[in-house]
A and B are shown apart, each in its own frame.
Chain A
Amino acid sequence: MYTTELSKQPNVQSIEDPERLAAFEARVAADEFIEPKDWMPEAYRRTLTRQISQHAHSEIVGMLPEGNWITRAPSLRRKAILLAKVQDEAGHGLYLYCAAETLGTSREEMIEALHSGKAKYSTIFNYPTLTWADIPAIGWLVDGAAIMNQVPLQRTSYGPYARAMVRVCKEESFHQRQGYEAMTSLANGTPEQKRMAQDAFNRWWWPSLMMFGPPDENSPNTAQSLRWRIKRETNDELRQKFVDITVPQAEYLGLTVPDPDLKWNEAKGGYDFGAIDWDEFYAVVRGEGPVARERMTARREAWESNAWVREAAAAHEAKRRQRAAA
Chain B
Amino acid sequence: MKKITKLIFLFFLITLFRPISSNASNNEINVYLFYGRECPLCLELKDVLDEIKEDYPNLKVHKYEVWYNAENRNYMNEAATILDTKVTGVPFTVIGTKVFNGYSSFARKGELKHTIEIYSKVASYKDPVGEMLGVVKNSGTLTYEDIVKASDDGESHIFEVPLAGPVAAKDLSLPIISILIGAIDGFNPCAMWVLFFLISVLIGMKDRKKMWILGSTFILTSAIIYLLFMLLWLNVITFVGSLKWFKILIALIALIGGTLNVRSFIKSKDTGCTVVDETKRKSIFTKIKKITTEKKLSLSIIGIIVLAVTVNFIEVSCSAGLPVIFMSILSMNDLSVLEYSFYMFLYILFFLIDDLIIFIIAMVTLKLTGISNKYAKYSHLIGGILMIIIGILLIFKPEWLTFNF
A binds B: no
> Which residues of B are at the interface with A, using a C-beta cutoff of 8 A?
none
> Which residues of A are at the interface with B, using a C-beta cutoff of 8 A?
none
